[in-house]
Amino acid sequence: MVKRSEAALDLTFSALADPTRRSILKSLSHGEWRVTDLAEPFAMSLPAVSKHVSVLEKAGLLKRSRLGREHYLKLEAAPMRQAATWIEHYRKFWEGSLDELARYLESNPVSPTSNQKPKKGKKA
């Protein structure tokens, strides 16, 4: 059974996987937007943009408020902080592994194998 935090992380990464949704989040990082204004730069219908907004909303990456008929969207960064924490854990692992590899290679220089032919010099 998948834990709730793992399911939330899956939703975050799934939402962030799409370039349109990342673009929407980038716009929202500058402040609150009306859905109709947010949809303008995209070469797709308002319902298509609304589907992207719905995915972001389900992942908890934005909040929607209504004022009359207008829908306003605001960025919610908490799920991205959780994803960044997860990535940071693995970054430390990979950096440590790469540092170990570098130390190994420095202490064990690679020598040419016997079946390699020496490079020929250029003739003048």
In a domain, 70, yes or no: yes
Count up the domains in the chain and report the number.
1
Residue 19's domain is classified under what CATH number?
A: 1.10.10.10
Residue 13 belongs to what domain range? 4-78
* pLDDT tens digits for range 28-68: 999 999 999 999 999 999 999 999 999 999 999 999 999 99
Q: Which long-range contacts (CB under 8 A, 24 or more apart) does 88-92 make?
A: none
pLDDT of residue 118: 57
Token output for 94: 């990979």
Range from 22-36, 48-62, 69-83, 97-111 carrying the lowest mean pLDDT = 97-111
